[in-house]
Amino acid sequence: MASIVLVLGGCARYQTRPLSSEQTVRAFNDRTLENPGLRTFLEKNRVCAPLPGQAWDLKQLTLAAFYYKPQLAEARAQLMATRAGKVSAGERPNPSLNVLPGYDSQIPGAPSPWIVPLTMDWPIETAGKRGYRMANARHLAEAARWNLVGVVWGVRGGVRSALLGLYSARRTQALLARQVKGQTKVVHMLQGQLDAGVISSYEVTQARIVLDTLILAQQTAAGRYAQARVAMAAALGVPTSALEGVRFSFAPFKTFPRRLSEPQVRQRALLNRADVRAGLAEYAASQSALQLQIAGQYPDIHLGPGYAYNTGSAGDNQWSIGLTVTLPILNQNQGAIAQAEANRKLAAAHFLSIQSSAISQIESALAAYRWALQGVATARGLLKNLKRQLVLVAGQVKAGEAAPLALASAQVAFNAGARGQLDAVLKAQQALGRLEEAVQSPLTLSTAKVEAGETAHTTDKDLEK
């Protein structure tokens, strides 16, 4: 009895942990980029947190998203659940103890009619079932880990896309402001010529239409910047108010790395992408599941030793040895085996589908990136020529060979070319983002940063504020 009490005393006990929507909303609204826990997490991963007034770069923002993003917390919880399944799979079945008191009043001269037999049921698994079960759980945990890595890449891609959106809106606003200023000057000069009777009102009206269109585009760009801030907050997993006064560094969008297009990088991507590795792990799990069901054809053995003390027979000690084996005469686990075989075929087909999609995604992203780079080169060449034209016209105006209106028009054309170059750069950066997500290369996101995304977590205190 004492041993039973000790065993029961070591059992896990339920602890309530209520979840309140009011508390979680309040905790979410309290999130900031100045959180001490976030700063500690950055330093732990050898990334310096920005000082007050400094800009947040892509690396720092990515780690902030790893710290806060609920999708990562969910994927990590799924991984923990599958790892707990490994413990369950390795557990051996517990024996059972049966106490079956009996009453026999027919034994002559019995001082007590009670018989108290004790029997045990000690199961013994056969055919390596425990090993196959553990292998299946191990492969499922590996698949869950690679799924988590895939979520890490998705979060990083979301942060980069949001940062590019902010860069696009801000640069567009700046260039439109220059265009509005230049076009306003053109309208003013044309209005002077109209007042002097040199030109018709049609030319002035056309110039005003262009100016109004630019002003409308400027207002739209301002709205896009506000939307980009909301998108950045969502990508980080913080409220929009957390970005008040926060500055951002757009340095990553000034270069176009070409190593991602190297054949060896693409080949590694086809072998090591998170979804490809997860598909392989799921197929391996289906193999182990089939092995387990095949082993299920062989029955387990149940040993049942027993003991009874019969006081009615002058204190007889009665021992028994029991053996139970399931007879596979009605079925030999064929249904479960057939289902496991079908699941293995499904896992194989799923893996081939994942790999095919990965090949298509990589090749498509690479082609789009190369085409976008050509567009950037063309836009830069055009802007260079417009700059040359602007300088020539400025010289002509200075020499009295051209009117000031010609210089203003050349400035307008140059500003329009600058916007065209920006559009080309943005398309190329978007294509680069898709290529980075497709190849999932350490050249873009180091292994250490991926591991940071796997292990980062929002503490319970953050949820219970």
For the stretch 228-260, pLDDT in tens is 999 999 999 999 999 998 999 999 898 888 888
pLDDT in the model for residue 108: 58
| Local confidence band at 7 (pLDDT 50, 70, 90 cut-offs) | low
Q: How confident is the model at residue 465 (pLDDT cuts 50, 70, 90)?
A: very low
Distance between CA 214 and CA 455 in Å, rounded? 48
Please indicate whether residue 258 or residue 277 has the higher confidence score (pLDDT).
277
Alpha-carbon distance of 128 to 410, in angstroms, equals 82
Contacts of 451 (CB under 8 A, 6+ apart): none
Residue 154 has pLDDT above 90, yes or no: yes
pLDDT at 461 exceeding the cut of 50: no
Question: pTM (2 decimals)?
Answer: 0.85
- Residue 462: predicted pLDDT: 43
User: Is pLDDT of 463 > 50?
Assistant: no
CA dist 245 → 29, 54, 112 (Å) = 16, 10, 89
In the predicted model, what is the mean pLDDT of the chain? 87
Task: Give residue-wise pLDDT tens across range 23-51.
Answer: 888 888 889 999 999 999 999 998 888 88
Q: pLDDT band at residue 332, thresholds of 50, 70 and 90?
A: confident
pLDDT-based confidence at residue 460 (cuts at 50, 70, 90): very low
Confidence class of residue 6 from pLDDT cuts 50, 70 and 90? low
Q: Is residue 374 pLDDT above 80, yes or no?
A: yes
The pLDDT of residue 418 is above 50: yes
In the chain, where are the structural domains located? 94-124+300-331
Q: Mean per-residue pLDDT for 433-459?
A: 84
Neighbours of 441 (CB within 10 A): 20
Beta partners for 55? 247
pLDDT digits (tens, 9 = 90+) for 115-143: 777 888 888 888 898 999 999 999 999 99
Mean pLDDT along residues 393-406:
86
What is the C-alpha separation between 383 and 81, in angstroms, rounded?
A: 56
Q: How do 306-310 and 316-320 pair as beta strands?
A: antiparallel
Number of alpha carbons in the 13 Å side-chain half-sphere of residue 334: 5
How far apart CA 163 and CA 140 sit, in angstroms, is 35
